[in-house]
Amino acid sequence: MVLLMIEVDNELCGHCSACVGVCPENALDLVGYKVEVVGECIDCGNCVDTCPLGAIEGGV
């Protein structure tokens, strides 16, 4: 399995934390007013699909 990283555009992000709740690897966390990548991504695409503002990009 190849582990990938995702990128969060915190200027576009609405800080709803929907992405945090759908990540099966707990790779995302809301720290202050920013979503930060705190773990390794398995490229499931859940966060990309869930973000209502399109603020997350990955290798999906």
Calculate the dihedral angle through the C-alpha atoms of 17, 41, 9, 28, rounding to the nearest 10 degrees. Answer: 30
Calculate the dihedral angle through the C-alpha atoms of 12, 14, 18, 19, rounding to the nearest 10 degrees. Answer: 20
Domains identified in the chain, total number: 1
Indicate which CATH number applies to the domain containing 18.
3.30.70.20
pLDDT at 5: 76
- Tell me if 1 is assigned to some domain: no
Instruction: Indicate the pLDDT class of residue 3, thresholds 50, 70 and 90.
Output: low
In this predicted model, what pLDDT tens digit does every residue of 14-57 receive, in sequence order? 999 999 999 999 999 999 989 999 998 888 999 999 999 999 99
**Model confidence, pTM:** 0.84
- Tell me if 2 is assigned to some domain: no
Instruction: Indicate the pLDDT class of residue 59, thresholds 50, 70 and 90.
Output: low
Contacts of 41 (CB under 8 A, 6+ apart): 3, 4, 5, 6, 25, 27, 58
